[in-house]
Structure 1
Amino acid sequence: MDSLVKIVGSLNGFIWGPAMLIMIVGSGLYLTIRMGGFQFRKQKDMWSRIFEPGDSDSGISAFASFCTTMAMRVGTGNVAGVAVAIYYGGPGALFWMIVAGMTNSAVCFTECTLGVLYKTRIDGQYRGGGPYCAERGLGWKKYGAFMALIFMIGTSAFMPAAATYTICDGFNNALGVEMWVSALIIAIVMAIVVIGGVKRISQVASLIVPFMVTVYLIVTIIILIVNIKILPGVLYDVVTHAFAKNAIFGGTIGVIIQQGIKRGTFSSASGMGESSPTAAAAETTHPVKQGMANAAGVWLDTVIVCTASGLMMLLTDCFNTSFGYVGSGSAELAALAEAGTNGVIFVQLATQTVLGNLSHIFIAIMLALFSFTCLISYYYEAETAAMYLFQKESQKSTRKVVTWIMRIGMPILIFIWGNIESSVAWDLSDLALGTCTWVNMLVVMMLSSKSISLYKDYDEQMKKGIDPYYDPDRLSWKGVDVEMWKDINKKRIEENKNK
């Protein structure tokens, strides 16, 4: 096991090095500039697209797609991930996490818009995502197969490690529940949900996500109100330490930026290809509509929920750094610093200041909801990748077999991940996330001009007062399923021709 930890750690050091930061931040800035900072100017439009009407036998509604995507985004990274970022990077990491969320929303918009553009129907359901874009948009069939294999293994086998461990750890801290017991329960419930396919997954996500986000933010607001007098000082610390100007927390600016962007990317999943399969499953008249909805999702996830977690810890002084305890007298935190313990426990201690003894149970439940919705979203992404590998009509029976193997195999792995060490769980998830991001971002940036053209088409229709729809006769490229899009917008296209 020690050898495995060292290998995974070395790979993460390479994958998450300076090149990753340059790629993510650089791509986000480039796309933001090319589309005129739409994520700042089009806030109202972005949020309204979440509730875009539409549903069919082939696809799910925009809201269901949004919730399924948010099920993956609002998860482990929003609680434990923020705590880990502050532990290694200090309060300044929160600043760079917010910046990453703002620019990453342009990356997410691009990959989701492309996912919808190049989607197709397999067994009567919409399927799309990075591998489909690689083959259909670039003609890279072999690379598409490589992507699909990486995504299938990454999201089904390794990505769930951190989410599973976090649920088990939360209940172990709050109620003393044995890790293996929680892991077994998660595995069983997971199997029940994924057997129902994308419809059941989206129904569960639509039920859980709005509730869990609302409750979590209410608790944050209470903590903000209770500590409102020290809020300006905390915000000052966040900004000054972001540029390594507050020596008390230690750390170099490189580590601070790395932790903020790394955890911000993990939380939003922008650029790693997680959100585009679910975006492609939506019934929509224009690819940009779902791109807008998912861009709003990054703001909700990283800019709002991650900030909420960070402020909880900083306002209540319930955090440590890797350089030791820097607080003002908590014996418990000093002991945690001595032991090198970090993560969920920081948020549990923060909520304890307003919820008392109920805080540990509250965070355990929130983590269970956050992380479980991550797991069901991971499954759908893995299944979509598998469908790409066996998409031929002659492979229909193979698709069924592979689907059932995943429905059984993933819960078994989830049980295993609930019984390993925290560092191993996070390292495995980071490895999967980083690898998927590298292979996906190449395709996203190669096809980004298509997304930009679609945005311009969408914007022009909006300015004319038209409810935007995609007409492949007006704007199309090789690889787009023209027949499918003409079927989706048949009525609108015919109406336009008759004018």
Structure 2
Amino acid sequence: MMNFLESIISIGNDILWGKVLIILLIGLGIYFTFKSNFVQFKFFGEMFRLLGDGATNSVSSDEKSENSVSSFQAFCISTASRVGTGNLAGVAIAIAVGGPGAVFWMWLIALVGASSSFVESTLAQIYKTKDKYGYRGGPAYYMEKALNKRWMGIIFSILITICFGLVFNSVQSNTISLAFKEAFGINQFIIGLTLSSITGIIIFGGVKRIAKVAELIVPIMAVAYILVAAFVIIKNISAIPSVFSLIISSAFGLNQAIGGGIGVALMMGIKRGLFSNEAGMGSAPNAAATAEVTHPVKQGLIQTLGVFTDTLLICSSTAFIILLSGAYTSKGLSGIQLTQTALSSQVGSWGNSFIALCILLFAFSSIIGNYYYGETNIEFINSNKIWLLVYRTAVVLMVLFGSIAEMPLVWNMADLFMGLMALINLIAIAQLGKIAFAALKDYVTQKKEGKDPVFTVNSIEGLKNVECWEDTKKDYMRA
């Protein structure tokens, strides 16, 4: 039975990742890049400015709702989900299977995919809805409100709930348990039991508790890991040009001593890149919608910065550690154990323990971020609290299951559900991109007039089914 399941999953992944998604992800990314006038590059400085503003207040204190999530907290929730096993274990798997060239395709999908992230996150803000806990939104909501296709939103909600809340969380706990077993020899079941207990305490506390935990963990873990990677790079600075040369030559099939050729490098780079940065997948918009901002484009730009943070900074850090060490040429090493071996060869035996602690923070923050994506989509399907209780219980159990499961199966399941989710979301944003571009045009116009941009339902002609952007006379200017 297990072999049959693995065969079905493998066939599905080959179709999705071998043909359909590679064309859609790159094609739409390029299309959105041109239609938005290169938004991910042109507004790079503005992204940092907005992130700084969001760390304090996104709107004036008079207008800020009691249960609202700041734009910085929303950024941290999505980054908590993005920055996880994909950055440490996923990059290692991509290099072990696809060779050094996979890193190039990972970079490419981040650069062009960042525009897709802008579109989906801006749409999530425009079509968000408000309840007693704050704001909710995401692809399911804009599929229903903008496309009038609730059935499409329900399918997406089911997929993201299974994908992130259950399958991805089993991947995260699997990587934590393997890392701690490698570093400290701790039994995987004991690790799983501990993780699932802590997860339960946090997720039963609601979105505000999730936001607070993410806001605390994300900056610390990212900075610590990047500093260690910077040390390794500086230590091997003379070898950096040859590493770049290796990545480029391997990406185009010129050097295939390691990996399976340009096709495998391309597929692994895009798969592991998307798993990590989530651009166009439809996951980050669920976090983007929770923020209270004066204009949807503000959160769209902040979420775009998350793609760069994830792939160009953190994934690249892992890639350079592995390639500089040469550990990727060793037979039988893959996933988190490859990253641990590579770092230990550069900094000493403490590298093993450091990676284990990093993956604990990275992957655990992903577990709570992933959980929230499922929660907001459960609410979309049915607001009955019984379903939310069932979901929360299932998440805790899947964290425990993932801790003791076999690595290849959980990663292959993650790829399949991630691919199906991305396919549906890309079809939706391909039709709705023009709304995000109109919002960007409105934002730019107001900026040129010297204003702090404020959005209303009348900012885009013909906008319908929008709940949270009424045309009022309130003053939303920052105090």
Same fold flag (TM > 0.5)? yes
Q: Which amino acid aligns with 2:128?
A: K
| 1: CA distance, partners of 2:134 / 2:235 | 49
Do residues 491 (structure 1) and 474 (structure 2) align?
yes
Which is worse superposed, 150-159 or 134-143?
Answer: 150-159
Contact kept, 8 Å, 1:161 with 1:429, in 2: the verdict is: no
Contact kept, 8 Å, 1:60 with 1:283, in 2: the verdict is: yes
Do residues 461 (structure 1) and 446 (structure 2) align?
yes
Residues 282-316 of structure 1, C-alpha deviation per residue, up to 9 Å, x if partnerless? 00111110000000010000111111110011112
Q: Where does 1:347-358 land on structure 2 (aligned, <5 Å)? A: 347-358=339-350
**Which residue matches 1:38?**
39
Contact kept, 8 Å, 1:227 with 1:316, in 2: the verdict is: no
Q: Report the Cα offset of residue 493 of structure 1.
A: 7.8
Q: Report the Cα offset of residue 75 of structure 1.
A: 0.7
Q: Report the Cα offset of residue 250 of structure 1.
A: 4.8
Contact kept, 8 Å, 1:117 with 1:480, in 2: the verdict is: no
Contact kept, 8 Å, 1:116 with 1:280, in 2: the verdict is: yes
**Which residue matches 1:200?**
209
Q: Aligned to 1:416, which of 394, 397, 401?
A: 401
| 2: CA distance, partners of 1:410 / 1:250 | 35
Q: Where does 1:223-372 land on structure 2 (aligned, <5 Å)? A: 223-320=232-329, 333=330, 337=331, 340-372=332-364
Change over 3 Å in CA distance of 1:490–1:216 after alignment to 2: farther
Q: Report the Cα offset of residue 256 of structure 1.
A: 1.2
| 2: CA distance, partners of 1:101 / 1:450 | 22
| 1: CA distance, partners of 2:392 / 2:223 | 30
Q: Report the Cα offset of residue 157 of structure 1.
A: 2.0
| 1: CA distance, partners of 2:21 / 2:277 | 15
| 2: CA distance, partners of 1:350 / 1:125 | 44
What is the TM-score of this pair, normalised by structure 1? Answer: 0.91
Do residues 403 (structure 1) and 388 (structure 2) align?
yes
Q: Report the Cα offset of residue 123 of structure 1.
A: 3.3
Which is worse superposed, 40-49 or 205-214?
Answer: 40-49
Do residues 142 (structure 1) and 151 (structure 2) align?
yes
Q: Aligned to 1:383, which of 375, 390, 397?
A: 375
**Which residue matches 1:426?**
411
Change over 3 Å in CA distance of 1:476–1:71 after alignment to 2: farther
Q: Which amino acid aligns with 1:366?
A: C
Contact kept, 8 Å, 1:161 with 1:428, in 2: the verdict is: no
Contact kept, 8 Å, 2:457 with 2:463, in 1: the verdict is: no
Which is worse superposed, 143-152 or 255-264?
Answer: 143-152
Residues 84-133 of structure 1, C-alpha deviation per residue, up to 9 Å, x if partnerless? 11111111110110111111111111100000100011334211001100
| 1: CA distance, partners of 2:372 / 2:249 | 41
Residues 439-481 of structure 1, C-alpha deviation per residue, up to 9 Å, x if partnerless? 1111111111101111111111112221111021232544443
Contact kept, 8 Å, 1:73 with 1:301, in 2: the verdict is: yes
Q: Report the Cα offset of residue 187 of structure 1.
A: 0.4
Which is worse superposed, 257-266 or 344-353?
Answer: 344-353
Q: Which amino acid aligns with 1:79?
A: L
| 1: CA distance, partners of 2:226 / 2:465 | 41
Q: Aligned to 2:221, which of 208, 212, 216?
A: 212
Do residues 99 (structure 1) and 98 (structure 2) align?
no
**Which residue matches 1:4?**
5
Q: Report the Cα offset of residue 2 of structure 1.
A: 2.1
| 1: CA distance, partners of 2:41 / 2:394 | 42
Q: Which amino acid aligns with 1:162?
A: V
Contact kept, 8 Å, 2:99 with 2:256, in 1: the verdict is: no
Q: Report the Cα offset of residue 377 of structure 1.
A: 0.9
| 2: CA distance, partners of 1:431 / 1:490 | 48
| 2: CA distance, partners of 1:232 / 1:32 | 29
Residues 330-372 of structure 1, C-alpha deviation per residue, up to 9 Å, x if partnerless? xxx3xxx0xx331112211222134312111100111111111
User: What is the percentage of aligned positions where both structures have the same residue?
Assistant: 33
**Which residue matches 1:84?**
93
Q: Aligned to 1:162, which of 171, 184, 188?
A: 171
Do residues 448 (structure 1) and 449 (structure 2) align?
no
SS at match of 2:75: helix
| 2: CA distance, partners of 1:158 / 1:30 | 31
| 2: CA distance, partners of 1:300 / 1:58 | 27
Q: Report the Cα offset of residue 378 of structure 1.
A: 1.0
Contact kept, 8 Å, 1:161 with 1:426, in 2: the verdict is: no
Residues 16-42 of structure 1, C-alpha deviation per residue, up to 9 Å, x if partnerless? 122210100111111011111121121
| 1: CA distance, partners of 2:464 / 2:363 | 36
Q: Report the Cα offset of residue 247 of structure 1.
A: 3.3
Change over 3 Å in CA distance of 1:476–1:184 after alignment to 2: farther
Q: Report the Cα offset of residue 162 of structure 1.
A: 1.5
- CA RMSD of superposed structures (Å): 1.7
Q: Aligned to 2:75, which of 58, 63, 66?
A: 66
| 2: CA distance, partners of 1:159 / 1:428 | 9
Contact kept, 8 Å, 2:143 with 2:428, in 1: the verdict is: yes
SS at match of 2:404: coil
Q: Report the Cα offset of residue 73 of structure 1.
A: 0.6
Q: Report the Cα offset of residue 437 of structure 1.
A: 0.6
| 2: CA distance, partners of 1:389 / 1:151 | 12
Change over 3 Å in CA distance of 1:264–1:197 after alignment to 2: same
Q: Report the Cα offset of residue 438 of structure 1.
A: 0.9
SS at match of 1:138: coil
Contact kept, 8 Å, 2:97 with 2:259, in 1: the verdict is: no
Q: Which amino acid aligns with 2:31?
A: Y
Q: Which amino acid aligns with 1:40?
A: F
Contact kept, 8 Å, 1:131 with 1:385, in 2: the verdict is: yes
**Which residue matches 2:189?**
180
Contact kept, 8 Å, 2:95 with 2:259, in 1: the verdict is: no
**Which residue matches 1:21?**
22
| Count of residue pairs brought into register by the alignment | 469
